[in-house]
């Protein structure tokens, strides 16, 4: 997994991250960009100060990404409020997480553990992914879907309980500025 914030910045803004004032202003005034930068930095070396800053933003905006989650390059937070990524979750490259989505672990039963999400996945508003399951590459999880089962590559999941529909270009038009 990659801790380079520049890929996340590019996915969220469509611009190259640089040392200039324009990049710094966007980081300062966009709470979701600032949170991802803090999270990436904190995962490099989790100090008490960094933990406290992450905790402050988690409470203020509801962005709760566990320090033990592994996230690939190019994370995109769309409508970034009340997004939860639990401990042990593994998320690939070019993943979109939208408002009120939850990626969590199950603590009992046959799916005990956390999800593994592939590359180029878009998780819709108010969707829930739980348990030790595998979400393939190029998967679109529609808004308000509940997923507690494995999803193959090139699929769209719709509904609660989720129903899988095969679609070759499932995330076309949903995942912009791929890295």
Active-site positions read 79
CA dihedral 26, 3, 78, 68 (to 10 degrees): -130
Residues 6 or more apart in contact with residue 150 via CB below 8 angstroms: 133, 134, 135
Check the CA dihedral 110-154-63-19 and report its sign.
Answer: positive
C-beta atoms surrounding 111 within 10 Å: 17
């Amino acid at each position: 997994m990659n801790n380079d914030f520049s890929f996340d910045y590019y996915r969220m803004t469509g611009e190259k991250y640089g040392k200039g004032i324009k990049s710094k202003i966007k980081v300062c005034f966009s709470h979701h960009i600032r949170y991802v930068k803090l999270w990436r930095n904190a995962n490099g070396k989790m100090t008490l100060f960094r933990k406290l800053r992450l905790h402050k933003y988690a409470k203020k905006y509801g962005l709760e990404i566990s320090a033990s989650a592994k996230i690939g390059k190019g994370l995109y937070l769309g409508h970034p409020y009340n997004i939860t990524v639990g401990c042990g979750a593994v998320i690939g490259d070019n993943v979109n997480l939208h408002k009120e989505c939850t990626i969590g672990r199950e603590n009992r039963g046959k799916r005990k553990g956390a999800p593994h999400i592939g590359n180029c996945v878009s998780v819709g508003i108010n969707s829930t992914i739980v348990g030790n399951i595998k979400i393939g590459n190029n998967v679109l999880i529609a808004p308000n879907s509940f997923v507690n089962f494995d999803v193959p590559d090139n699929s769209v999941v719709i509904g609660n309980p989720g129903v899988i529909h095969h679609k070759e270009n499932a995330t076309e038009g949903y995942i912009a500025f791929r890295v």
